[in-house]
Chains A and B, each alone.
Chain A
């Protein structure tokens, strides 16, 4: 680990702790900054410059959990700047496809055109953005940059039952042949898009070129009301509008650590700690107090932080967080799996770095 190597460079232990850990107190966290400058330890004759080799060997990614929508992994050995850049790229710069233009043919529902369009825009569509180009403002919509959906619902009464009284996302029909109103929409496909649907085995039971969720309520209708519209989805990024964001959210937190500073803890303190955070603090067979992994007892950590208010406890226990260990979670909207999103985020970050390097 990087910390060990650098410590061998001879930084005093307390300084090393300040460099690698945030120290959590009852009111305020201390030593929250990262030491990135190369000459910050110069008075101690220690070089703090960034070392690619060390970085390469220190960097670790451990995936803790992965399914279709959520991924949690540990990102170890990077600067907070990198972790945050990844988070922000995930939120705002990984492209997806979402409905952007809505052509109303008829809307007699209670919901206004604008509001309905806005709701349609927020429906996540399982369309692979790699297959499409960004549509420039001056470009005409074509099969290269536009996916066309149709919504044609009429509510009727059948006996006491209402048909189509709820308009849900599965009623959005994909039109692989393109717009049915080419005159009004100026959208003309030269060839169909049917080939864009992946093969059966690639689909894995998922429906492509359709909303991710079938049961999103778009609006409600009363008998006699109808909605007819054509919706054109285009590729975009979350920076322009949140509907293109591929994640519900993406976040990280620092790895927590709770340590005992001394072996012989006064009995009264031990009892308080055991009462406040059972599980986090345990008694060893010899009756002495011990700490288990803080990461698995997150619910108790705030209690420990409050207890640090007391002098007796603060002398015995330290609650701190590793500065270069991020527990990263990505919650995808379901358009793309979270691991794919992370890959894309990395490649976007890479492109950015390259661009910067080229311009320097």
Chain B
């Protein structure tokens, strides 16, 4: 936002605050009026943020910025054999969705991809400079398109490259798309895939924990673009050791500090703090260090050098560094690698490790200092864009390695027939198929980053209207349920942690093995994206943070001062931390720093964060317990004058992440506000997620009932989308007479659940204890079933592929011919038209042939229908240019009437509320002959092939 606007807002705020503090005291004591229709903020929020939007935003960030950073970081390809050779990427472009057929590029829509079983993807092209012989070739594209294509990237629907981006409802209808479909998924080989959010432990943060021997451990998972490593400091038998993969053995911590330049024992003591009790705890370690005869930095490096784990790669290397150099390198670049070490100046790292040690020692003295692993502030979420960028980074690097290898081989040959042109060697398959395969299988295997995850993507099956909205907010756990070993199968990570309040849905989790591990976002949750750190760093230094590099060890733990961390990195010290926190908060509310910069003061440390993947949610700010949002603001919102961002801009609402929420006092309702209240909830029902939001009166239910309903709500049958009859899904269940629930919740209206309807309202008589009901079973009125209650249509796809063979023969579809000596073809061919296909409207009986396909060996093949009687609803013929085959698909249809024994499961154990909205969850039994009033003769309808 503009600076002027902020200024204005600030003055306004100050006026209000001034009046509240120094004005008429009677104003303060008058009763707080409840603001009506506060929940209107929720739809406004969902318009700008939330649920599917954050997936799309993260993907947009990836294709617009992240991809450029990745290419920039890996822009140069050189080769070992020819020092003059280079290939340099100067720019990268992601194009618009298209498909190449017969050397012609055509635009494509998602609906076409679904029907034709192809991938909705856009070409990635690059501008390059490279050497060909002795000349330097510069290839530059134009019109937002690079000179050379390096592959195709599947596009997320409704991202800013998608054809559906910013389209109106009629335009969407023209593209064959449902306007209620929120997008956020990919169409890969015809199936709709959604990437689930991944949960991880925070990177670059110190976590104090206990290990299996009940020893205190401080661990840091460092992650930078170059390297990822895990460092542990462990307190074993009263002594501190550094545990790291680079060392074959645990090494004495004091020796490590000495190796990093803190030679004097006094300095080591001061680093941990001038407290006697803390110093006493350090003594055994120092003594142990002494016993190893380590006194100086050189001795310490020597000592560490002997403990370096020989890496398998270093065997072949000719030039080996000395052990001392190697140890120094490891300390500088591998151990706690996210703390920068410039020219072997270890000051910052020493201080950082000192903080680690101090926190450990405090935890030894007082176990309450041990961190809670399951605390949600220690978790980070990874969205679709981030996962895609990881994958792309790996594939791009692989592409470059391939190019290098090719250049190595070709250029090493002395005489070549033609000049080596690297631009012609760029293969598009690596990236295209790499991305496609990962998306369609859900296996994210990236050896480079030691990443091996399965089930990252899910088919968003479109079984029910809310389906796309349902899958989007699911969070996959950091540890897969099957990877939990027996002893670890404790309830800890599965339990609902209090810090998840408002961020994750308390009810929506699957039952069984992944119970509590797979979670779902709440309605108003937002996941942050990375923000520029440098600005924040500068801002903090200007506000009086003393840089850590200009500090003596003894100053580190000055009483009243606090260490200032930014994204887990120790920046320095501030003497008046409370003031600093206050200032930063004020700046955030006025828009001078990002809205997702969060701060919390904990003990003698002040943590600022602006990194990506934190969950946060908006709350109303309170001044001395008086909420800032007043009725007039809501009136502005309802009249459309204000959007959600106006509330942020005027400093009425702010986002809080878990850590900052933890140090705030948040009132649920206005009447609960006290003078110490800092924030007010926007609306209590926003703690629920999308699926649990469909439950009416969830607070009147026993809690597992809500969880069961969350699992079953996804199975509801009804309409799936406006384009449901044109989608040719493999299997589709539709209700003949879907209804909108009589009793809707606000969430239902927000996610348009009522526009499609998934179920029917039933009048249910609940009988006491015994009688006809057997727990969950019900007795149904036959007449109501006769009249259409629970009647459904089942649409099923059958297909056949026509292949082309190497010997230039092809499969073909032909008219059925009569057997020799007979006039008409056999009876089972009765459905086939002259083109050899069954026509729309035909009744298929068991054993009927619906395609007469001939293979080159001249053996006719008949594909048969299922055993059930059904009708041909649609016939589609498509061509696939890449695999050179055409496909035909049949969509058959049959209607089911629920049988009298239809078993239904109702998750509502008691139907005591006024209206019970109830959906038939499952209709078991195939039903008798489906349609009662019908016995059709053959439809005299022409074949209407849907040729795309």
Query: Hey, which bits of chain A sit against chain B, CB under 8 A?
Result: 91, 99-108, 110, 112-115, 117-118, 120-122, 181, 184-185, 238, 241-243, 245
Contact = CB atoms under 8 A, between A and B. Distances in A.
B933 A118 contact: yes
Interface stretch (B244-252, B369-377, B780-788): B780-788
15 contacts: A91-B783, A99-B933, A103-B937, A104-B937, A107-B941, A112-B873, A113-B841, A115-B791, A117-B934, A118-B931, A118-B932, A121-B932, A243-B786, A243-B787, A245-B783
Nearest to B734: A112
B871 interface: yes
Contact of B895 (A102, A106, A114, A245): A114
A165 B624 CA distance: 62
A185 B783 contact: no
Contacts of B936: 102-104, 113, 117
A158 B880 CA distance: 42
B806 interface: no
B793 interface: yes
Interface residues of B, number: 27
A121 B841 contact: no
B893 A101 contact: no
A118 B871 CA distance: 16
B935 interface: yes
A185 B936 CA distance: 10
Contacts of B787: 122, 242-243
A241 B937 contact: no
A117 B783 contact: no
Interface in B921-938: 930-937
A184 B932 CA distance: 19
B736 interface: yes
A242 B932 CA distance: 11
A223 to B, nearest CB: 16
Given A115-B736, A242-B787, A121 B940 contact: no
A114 B934 contact: yes
B930 A106 contact: no
A108 B793 CA distance: 17
Contact of A102 (B894, B930, B933): B933
Contacts of B895: 112, 114-115, 118
Nearest to A244: B786
Given A106-B941, A241-B786, A242-B782, A112 B793 contact: yes
Contacts of A238: 783
B725 interface: yes
Interface in B773-821: 782-784, 786-788, 791, 793
B940 A114 contact: no
A113 B843 CA distance: 11
B939 interface: yes
B429 to A, nearest CB: 43
Contacts of B871: 112-114
Nearest to A102: B934
Contacts of A102: 933-936
A50 to B, nearest CB: 30
Contacts of A112: 793, 871, 873, 893, 895
Contacts of B784: 242
Interface in B812-852: 841
A334 B939 CA distance: 33
Contacts of A99: 933
Contacts of A117: 931, 933-934, 936
Interface string B145-161: 00000000000000000
Contact of B933 (A91, A106, A120): A120
Contacts of B894: 114
Nearest to A185: B937
Nearest to B936: A104
Contacts of A100: 933
Nearest to B873: A112
Closest 5 CB pairs of A and B: A121-B933, A242-B786, A242-B783, A117-B934, A114-B931
Nearest to B725: A110
B935 A101 contact: yes
Interface in B860-911: 871, 873, 893-895
Given A102-B934, A238-B783, A113 B939 contact: yes
Q: Which of A118, A121, A181 has most chain B Cβ within 10 Å?
A: A118
A118 B786 CA distance: 9
A242 B793 CA distance: 20
Contacts of A245: 783
A120 B894 CA distance: 18
